[in-house]
Chain A
Amino acid sequence: MVSEFGHFLLISAFCLNLGLIANYLTRKPVFWGLVVLFNRLESLLLTLLAISFLFLIISFITSDFSVKLVANNSHSLKPILYKVAGAWGNHEGSMLLWVLILSLYLFLFQLSSNNYPKELVRNILLVQLSIIALFLFYLLFLSNPFERLNFPPLNGQDLNPILQDVLLVAHPPILYLGYLGLSIPFSIAIGLLLTNDNTTNIVKLIRFWALVPFVFLTLGILLGSIWAYYELGWGGWWFWDPVENVSLLPWLLNLALIHSILILERRSSLLNWTILLCIMGFSFSMIGTFIVRSGLITSVHAFANDPSRGLFILLIIFVAITTSLSIYIFKRPNTVSVMKLNFASRELWILVQNLTLLVITVIVFLGTIWPFIIEVLLNEQVSVGEPFYEISLLPFAVIFAFMLPIASKVAWKGKNFVDIKKLLSSILICSGVSASGFLIGTLSPLTFIGFFLASWVCLSSILELIPLFQFYFPVSTITKRSLLVNFRLIGRTCSHFGFGLLIFGVTAVSSWEKEDIRNIEVGESFYITSYEIIFKNIDYSVEKNFKKVSGSFEVMHNKKLVGTLYPEKRLYPSRNEVTTEASIKPTLLNDFYIVLGNKLDGNAWVVRTYIKPFISFIWFGVTLIALGGFVTLLSFASYRNRFTV
């Protein structure tokens, strides 16, 4: 019953959705009776989808194997946590989550849009509702999560063991909050174009709704990266796999948007470009998600793809994107305002930053679809992987990082360049700081450049905080205005500093990682640099839904215990799959990473050990980038109160 009711709710949601669209199109309330019951019908749409999603989760919890999705992706012995999370660890369930989050954003946007002209809001909601309708249609007719089986199996086929992890609970929903948050800037842009409204200032609106997905997308990508780091078993944190690339594309465009909107705010220029970025951001989050699911491109993450339905969804996306681009081409505001540019003006540097981000996006996108293009056009097969991205993105990443402090230092409409002496001396200081890196390890030219950029970005963003203290000392001058500026300044510094730490972590890990692969017997020990690693024992045990063998290793430094690691191998009988569970002991400076390999003759095992210096700086840096976005969002709270205080 539960699943039929869930299906029924989905159908009602679809009808309501179409009704709402008709409602907005005709400007007359179609469902008048319902308007009395529910003040906002958008909230009803959200409620219907939320309950429907809840029912899907209930089917998973109760292990109702007559539902096809549950039978294919769950198992009665699976821990309850993964039963719940299993609801979105597959194609249909994640599509339902996708639609649910879209309508959540619809609802939230409506709540926050009171101060804007009715006509504009109406058009924006209309666009958002149409997006929801497209995906709801796809969900209902081509990937119904509530489909029943005529002959239910006794037990399910279980969830892919690689997915059975705590992060399955958090990673997909947060990532989706990011991907789909981009739908709001998209709807705002299209809504604005349809309204022909040149008077309303939409800067605040776009800024807010571009920052929200930025925070979630950053965190979502971070969680995915951490997950890959400990799950895939050889300790990489970014593989340039298509799935990772396509999550990066909307993030890069969103980052460009967050900065270009500043020019729109300060100089009322670049409206067209900003609108285009809004459109491209969400377009790429759709293209990205489905290009991988359609099975057109092979990926190591291919657990939720289905080629048969993929082409249809690509068609939907193609229609959506071409429609929005045509609206852009025909209705874009043709205000040609030449903004004054100067080498010392921030707008020039932000333009260059936007360009660099665009180029990085283009390279990543082209690299990702290149195998597909070549296969279709020339019927040949090529691969594009990590070495390609490293070599072609490096120059632009360097340009980007080097520009950052300059762009953030020079003034709006600035005429005088920063003191050249100051600039040179800070470059000198940073080079000195990074050259001292050879004290820790070998220093190749690339490593040096990496450390220079890291210290260059970190140092300059800290220096930017100085004006903040000038604000605070004369206490009487603390107004809401200064608080507002301060939230933005703190947020900016936080993100930029985090980016510096990220560069540092990436450079350190890729230059100084230590690897050791050997056969070792229980009781033996070996050294990596000054760390002694002792293989204590090996242990077999049976867990609820898998069997495992786990080793225990002690890491000693100067006769002191640093930590004990328990790498495992697991056998999931339900799928007859073996997974390798690396064990990681993170410390402030190094991560110890041990993977248990084959059993050899006697009591010997193959053991792979990595020491990864400063990898925690990568996670910490990216967290700071997201936190910076969050702090900047706080400034909007003070926006609202500004006039009342």
Chain B
Amino acid sequence: MKYFFFILFAFFIASRALAVEPSEILGNPQLEDRARKLSSNIRCLVCQNENIDSSDSEFAKDIRLFIRDQLIEGRSDREIENFLVSKYGTYILFKPKFAGYNIFLYLFGPFIFILGISTIFFLFLKSKRGS
């Protein structure tokens, strides 16, 4: 009975996929590298907040395989990303595209920095003039 339990248990564990699996890895290390870079920017849509590279879900696995197929067919990184966005929406990218309203997201920080530096420079000039 105990042995049966173990087999059941082993089966249960085996039924869960793990993040990137050996069978998925491409023979060509350069392509695999590109696949990894791409994957780190692709969100697993059925998970909480994980990229497809580290997710255990079927969805993530499908997208990982899809990316690798496309890479073998010679598509560029941008083409693959654009295709995924057209299919699943911008939600799938962890790094929002530098376009539209996202420009605000990218530039707000630097804007505050420039504003602050100018203020400090202004204070600097003012104190110079004062002395």
Contacts and interface: CB of A to CB of B under 8 A. Distances in A.
A359 B126 contact: no
Interface in B112-127: 112-113, 116-117, 120, 123-124, 126-127
Residue picked from A236, A239, A383, A388, most chain B C-beta under 10 Å? A383
A540 B90 contact: no
Contact of B49 (A241, A547, A597, A599): A241
A595 B16 CA distance: 14
B131 interface: yes
B113 A517 contact: no
Contact of B12 (A378, A391, A571): A571
B47 to A, nearest CB: 8
Given A366-B108, A384-B94, A355 B116 contact: yes
Interface SS of chain A? mixed
A253 to B, nearest CB: 14
Given A547-B9, A598-B21, A383 B92 contact: yes
A238 to B, nearest CB: 13
A383 B93 contact: yes
Given A351-B120, A362-B112, A597-B18, A374 B94 contact: no
Interface size class of chain A, counting residues whose CB lies under 8 Å from the partner chain? 35 or more
B105 A540 contact: no
A29 interface: no
Interface SS of chain B? helix
A381 interface: yes
A549 B10 contact: yes
Contact of B90 (A359, A382, A386, A599): A382
B57 interface: no
B12 A388 contact: no
Nearest to A343: B124
Contacts of A378: 101
A571 B109 CA distance: 45
Contacts of B1: none
Interface stretch (A95-103, A109-117, A297-305): A297-305
B43 interface: yes
Contact of B96 (A348, A384, A396, A599): A384
B51 A517 contact: no
Given A362-B109, A382-B102, A391 B95 contact: yes
Contacts of A33: none
Interface size class of chain B, counting residues whose CB lies under 8 Å from the partner chain? 35 or more
Residue picked from B12, B21, B131, most chain A C-beta under 10 Å? B21
Interface in A360-404: 360, 362-363, 366-367, 370, 374, 378, 380-388, 391-392, 396
Interface stretch (A208-216, A324-332, A334-342, A637-645): A334-342
B130 interface: yes
Interface in A224-255: 232-234, 236, 239, 241-242
B73 to A, nearest CB: 23
A517 B20 contact: yes
B91 to A, nearest CB: 4
Contact of A383 (B40, B43, B116, B120): B43
A302 B49 CA distance: 10
Contact of A341 (B23, B43, B127): B127
Given A598-B14, A606-B22, A385 B49 contact: yes
B89 interface: yes
A569 interface: yes
A356 B49 contact: no
B130 A338 contact: yes
A352 interface: yes
Nearest to B2: A542
A366 B102 CA distance: 11
A295 B40 CA distance: 24
Contact of B10 (A358, A367, A381, A540): A540
A578 interface: yes
Interface in A63-122: none
Contact of B91 (A359, A383, A391): A383
Given A358-B112, A517-B25, A578-B12, A388 B94 contact: yes
A519 interface: yes
16 contacts: A340-B130, A341-B128, A352-B120, A355-B117, A358-B112, A366-B105, A383-B91, A385-B95, A388-B105, A392-B106, A392-B109, A547-B5, A578-B12, A599-B14, A600-B14, A606-B18
Given A366-B108, A571-B12, 14 more contacts: A298-B49, A338-B130, A339-B123, A359-B112, A359-B116, A367-B105, A382-B102, A385-B49, A386-B51, A518-B22, A571-B13, A578-B12, A598-B17, A598-B21
A-B pairs, top 5 by smallest CB distance, nearest first, are A385-B94, A387-B95, A381-B91, A597-B18, A363-B109
